[in-house]
Chains A and B, each alone.
Chain A
């Protein structure tokens, strides 16, 4: 359902303004309040022109209160409302809106990276057994409940305090909180703004991965690009790392659904006209905007608790299978579906903004006060999971980042799940990965096929675009040793 006429106009009006940086000027549409800016190489631009992602970016540029530009990260692809890989900041004091679609149904989907005091050669004899045990210890797949069923009161604690609530109960280590974005807990959370339905969906899902592109991966550090930043992050060549990718599960999905349904009927009242219903929004300072923000923060807390619980399960399994003497340390936990209230200076003036990052992460440069003290000198860690069998990257935010300190979150899909399942056999993909020495645990061959590397953009091209656009800089490349995922 591409709008071919619009795509042709975009191609005509696109201006390259810097390396891996294109601008769509406001002249393309009278409804655009700001230009749209896309961080793409020429190859990635061709992918972006194959779906409606740039048209969606233009729609984002029409939202009330949007400031500076609507941004597309290098892994941009078509979402609903906002493109995935989209960043937009709204001026809270100029009728700026908050849009659940600009954050995503999977609120605080994100990535946690752990490092082990173990080398790749040392873990190799244990990989098969470890993969089996982790597949059992961390439920994945559709509709799978987890080992932790929460009472009403326990859920309230987690919604209010996030990962800190679990640490208080003796799960995990202090560094799991210290090295987590927002220390795993947003204080603006209000459990009362989470619906009973959302609570019920989430009550038995703590400690679970979910399905689709969510995964747990055992990796090794294959290459160090930035020794100073790598040292700050505790990463060494050939070191084993573990990457966890998941979010807020059914609780977050329901919360987004609830608030989209609540906001849509009120748009006329706020005199907001939208080109796409999935851009449903409310003025940030309205009752509905504040309720959603509080609910979003509570859902984010649930997601951090989820990754904290999974991290704890991983650590326990490592100690049980290999040795209790192995250190399993959190490098960082980063969110890639989030709305953050942030202060930014633009042309010498300071603004109070609600920054939407959907399929995008924070990437502040060195010295930024929001970066934890231990990493502040080198910059904000950026974790970019790759596709199965390829590579993931650790990067660090650039001081020249021009997109509200933001970067991409992954490789970005280019092939539909349907096409992937039709053209790629999961069993053959599994064999190919195993031939590379990668252990695979997945209970669904179609589920594996959907996540084949061919279904995604080239991660190297994406990361190079991030560098060229000066969003972030490479620190290390991680390659998979074992992949655990649901269907």
Chain B
């Protein structure tokens, strides 16, 4: 379940599930933009409740661009969603090879799955998406997924 995973007031949890009438929404936190993106990826797949399969993990290196930081996040998560659909795997960040506000290259670790026990995520949306930083503190955003 992608609700609280522990954390203190100073270190908010990576992501939490939010109520949304027709779809799925998460609120994500990160100490840095890279961590925010990494936690968003974990949150997205956690919401879909993957059924992990015994098998070899894979790696996948992708390059994504966006004209804003928000579009970069959406495009990053959308690319991971595409990979998940065609490779029957869920992905997490191994390392960012490069990261700016409009482009990134990242190596992902893929874990095979047999399916999902939760809702099919059709797409990552821009609904209520606004990446903000709390005065030199953590970065945060809400992401709504179409299900």
Contact = CB atoms under 8 A, between A and B. Distances in A.
Interface string A444-462: 1011001000000000000
Interface in A201-247: 201, 210-212
A143 B17 contact: no
Interface in A262-288: 264-265, 276-278, 280
Contact of A80 (B82, B119, B146): B146
A105 B122 CA distance: 7
A201 B84 CA distance: 10
Contact of B120 (A84, A210, A280): A210
A254 B18 CA distance: 24
Nearest to A277: B126
Interface of B: 17-24, 48, 67, 70-71, 74-75, 78, 82, 85-86, 88, 113, 115-120, 122-129, 142, 144, 146-147
B126 A79 contact: no
A416 B120 CA distance: 15
Contacts of A256: 123
Contacts of A105: 122-123, 125, 146
Contacts of B17: 418
A95 interface: no
A413 B119 CA distance: 15
Contacts of A142: 48, 115-120
Interface residues of A, number: 46
A143 to B, nearest CB: 5
A313 interface: no
A257 B147 contact: no
A427 B124 CA distance: 30
A418 B122 contact: no
Contacts of B86: 197, 200-201
B124 to A, nearest CB: 7
A413 B23 CA distance: 10
Given A200-B86, A212-B147, A144 B122 contact: no
Contacts of B85: 143, 200-201, 250
A78 interface: yes
Contact of A212 (B21, B67, B113, B120): B120
A106 B22 contact: no
Contacts of A415: 21
Interface string A470-487: 000000000000000011
Interface string A107-136: 000000000000000000000000000000
B128 A143 contact: no
A446 B115 CA distance: 15
A416 B18 CA distance: 9
A211 B123 contact: no
Contacts of B113: 143
Nearest to A197: B82
A257 B78 contact: yes
Contacts of A417: 20, 22-24, 119, 147
A80 B126 contact: yes
Contacts of B67: 264-265
A197 B20 CA distance: 28
Given A80-B125, A81-B127, A260-B126, 10 more contacts: A1-B128, A1-B142, A80-B144, A105-B123, A105-B146, A201-B85, A250-B85, A264-B67, A446-B117, A487-B117
B147 A277 contact: no
16 contacts: A1-B142, A81-B126, A105-B122, A142-B119, A144-B115, A201-B82, A210-B120, A212-B120, A254-B82, A261-B75, A276-B127, A278-B125, A413-B21, A416-B19, A417-B20, A418-B24
B14 to A, nearest CB: 18
Contacts of B142: 1
| Residue picked from B19, B22, B142, most chain A C-beta under 10 Å | B22
Most buried by A among B21, B117, B128, B147: B21
B19 A418 contact: yes
A51 interface: yes
A171 B42 CA distance: 41
B75 to A, nearest CB: 6
B145 to A, nearest CB: 10
A335 B147 CA distance: 18
Contacts of B82: 197, 200-201, 254
Contacts of A197: 82, 86
Most chain A beta-carbon contacts within 10 A, residue among B17, B24, B85, B124: B85
Contact of B22 (A1, A276, A413, A447): A413
A446 B75 CA distance: 29
A414 interface: yes
Given A106-B122, A211-B120, A414 B21 contact: yes
A99 to B, nearest CB: 13
A39 B88 CA distance: 43
